[in-house]
Structure 1
Amino acid sequence: MDIAQSLPAGTPFGGELERRPRLLVVDDQPVNVQLLYRVFAADHQVFAATEGNKALEIARQQQPDLILLDVVMPELDGFEVCQRLKADQLTRDIPVIFLTANADPESEAHGLDVGAVDFIGKPFNTKVVRARVKTHVTLKRQGDLLRRWVFLDGLTGIANRRHFDERLAVEWARIQRSGAPLSVLLIDVDHFKRFNDSHGHQSGDDCLRRVAAALASGLQRPTDLVARYGGEEFVCLLPDTDGYGAQHMAEQLRQRVHQETQPGVSGAPWPAVTVSIGVGSARLDLMHSADDLLREADLNLYRAKKAGRNAVRAGAAALSA
């Protein structure tokens, strides 16, 4: 069966093991997709696209470690795709290797000018392609590690407020162009001051780390982000998620935190904790900035606390509350 035609664009080849590098192959010829799949499927998670716009969509959603990109394609050619990848904050750090039959010096120079890290001519030697992919994936992961240190919360190991603020600004600008849904969850650990007073600040720090781990493990997509918002508050950014989906995710996270902090699961010498969650969902007809989105989530968080905590609250009425 034709692999490139039998699976929908963006379908991961080879499973969901996140420890494996994620590779996006973009080529309008299915035979080339099949060949590269056979080369990389054993030790990579491979995604495929046969045209430029779909490649941009998959790159944003799946955040691959590297993109193998054909130059000559209908509609958007590889050079234009690469330029758009580099103009988008979510995809600009993904290395791009061009694969093309036009391996002349002028094309190669242009490919490097628009942001590619390498240029391989067709027909290609599979050993050479594997070696170059390995090199650039290693460099990408080293760069990712350095960037994470800058945007990391020192206590919990998840993203910090600075990283969340930057991602929120990017996503808000994107939905203004596309009209896509966007939601945020504001999450507060219930009665945390009482917890610290009863169990001590070291246990409080351990509690925050366990809550952060439960939230991070509960997110479902690479583009979802959980960050420490400040003190005992956390925030989740959910691109391409409407109010219904965000409320469903919030309820799952509320239950997950309570389950994952049970003494029998966590081994902690203190009782399980609960969280209250407020949901905010973008409505461009009423909201003028990302601050309005956060305000809705904050007002819904207040409603969750007022309702007795260990609860999720959502709804557009919060803006006028």
Structure 2
Amino acid sequence: MTMASRQRVLVIDDEKINLKVISDILREDVDVILAINGEQGVRKAVELQPDLILLDVLMPNMDGYETMTHLCHDVRTSAIPVIFITALNDSSHEERALLMGACDYIQKPLYTNIVQARVRLHLQLTKQRKMLEELAHIDPLTSLANRRKYEDVISSEWQSAIEHQECLSLLVIDIDNFKHYNDCYGHATGDKVLKQVASVLASQVNPGEGLVARYGGEEFTMLLPRFSQHEATKVAHQCMSEIEHLNLCYHHGGQTGQVTVSVGGATCYPQSSHLLSEFFDRADNKLVQAKNTGKNKILWDVSDKLDVPVK
């Protein structure tokens, strides 16, 4: 298993000997993060986002149940599975832990094979859950983010832009003459065009700089946080140029042409009084105008004064 693919387990226990024992049991399979109390454990869970948490019940100041409450009530940690580890053998404690949302409960003394087996099981379940979550946000044809993922991300970036007074740019992109191309060569070939266009669009955005999504049909969105209108327009021109260079021409039934794209764009500095839906509409309306006035062009919304930050 490579370091990049190793999962991470956070162990929260006030006894150093317990931390060492559990670390020795697990370290060959996972990266182990240690915390000596509940407060430190919550901080590390938020910061490091482990795949699984092993939590001792009996700890001073903040015991395991209180720590679990903090983890459950924070959206950043509420989905991380927790296994309670304790010397308490009263079934009522196990019941309480499970009712609080723990995924498992291991009693001391610890047996290496049991701990390893249960940790592996819950890590595998975590990996499967994350894979399903990722698949639910991926367009199966193009492998881009789908509309659901786009809406989640733009909502988050919108709030971040409001908080930090940063600009946000959005491109809405539509493939020109796609129906003619489909009519000429069939939907299977049309699907290949969608994949080619998607690949070009995805190549224009570095990981972590923005999001490219298939919005529906032959329409795509490109979200560019902290890109000015000038910077986003340069990206749009590059997209148009590279798609044109694909040279996807069609000749059939009197119809002759080439697959290009039209782009509608908008840039703003969001404020709490602005509506996210209106921001999309601004870019989408410009796309419609581009399609209706010759295609293969970029039109940018400059309809209001949101292109400068409000002091």
Q: Same fold (TM over 0.5)?
A: yes
The size of the alignment, in residue pairs, is 285
Give the structure 1 partner of residue 54 of structure 2: 68
2:81 corresponding residue in structure 1: 95
In 2, the alpha carbon distance for the partners of 1:165 and 1:84 equals 28
* Alpha-carbon contact 1:97-1:117 (below 8 Å) kept: yes
In structure 2, how many angstroms separate the alpha carbons of the residues matched to 1:30 and 1:252? 55
Q: CA deviation at 1:252?
A: 8.3
Secondary structure, aligned partner of 1:51: helix
Alignment of 1:85-124 (within 5 A): 85-86=71-72, 92-100=78-86, 102=88, 104-121=90-107, 124=110
Give the Cα separation in 2 of the matches to 1:95 and 1:40.
16
State percent identity of aligned pairs: 31
Aligned residue among 44, 48, 59 for 1:58: 48
| Preserved CA contact (<8 Å) 1:189 1:274 | yes
**C-alpha separation between the residues in 1 aligned to 2:112 and 2:163?**
41
Distance 2:244 2:120 in 1: 39
The reply to whether residue 194 of structure 1 matches residue 177 of structure 2 is yes
Q: What TM-score results when the alignment is normalised by the length of structure 2?
A: 0.58
Residue 139 (str. 1) matches residue 125 (str. 2): yes
Amino acid corresponding to residue 114 of structure 2 in structure 1 = V
Q: Which residue of 1 aligns with 2:3?
A: 15
RMSD of aligned residue pairs (Cα, Å): 5.6
Pick from 126, 139, 162: which aligns with 1:153?
A: 139
Report if the CA contact (8 A) 2:83-2:104 is conserved. yes
Write out per-residue CA displacement over residues 235-266 of structure 1, whole angstroms, 9 at most, x where no aligned residue.
Answer: 4679xxx6269998998899799889987xxx
Change (3 A) 1:205 1:113: same
Q: Secondary structure at the match of 1:68?
A: strand
Tell whether the 8 Å contact from 1:277 to 1:300 is kept in structure 2 after alignment: yes
Alignment correspondent of 1:291: 277
Deviation of 1:203 (Å): 3.7
Question: What is the distance in 1 between the residues matched to 2:219 and 2:164?
Answer: 27
Establish whether residue 230 from structure 1 lines up as the match of residue 220 from structure 2: no
CA distance in 1, matches of 2:54, 2:229: 33
Match of 1:27 among 8, 12, 27: 12
In structure 2, distance between residues paired with 1:38 and 1:246:
54
Higher radius of gyration, 1 or 2: 2
Amino acid at match of 1:67: I
Gap change, CA 1:249 and 1:41, over 3 Å in 2? farther
Alpha-carbon offset, residue 39 of structure 1: 4.5
Structure 1 residue ranges without an equivalent (≥5): 1-13
Secondary structure of the residue that 2:114 maps to in structure 1?
A: helix
Q: CA deviation at 1:134?
A: 1.6
Structure 2: unaligned runs, 5 residues or longer: 250-257
* Preserved CA contact (<8 Å) 1:161 1:227: yes
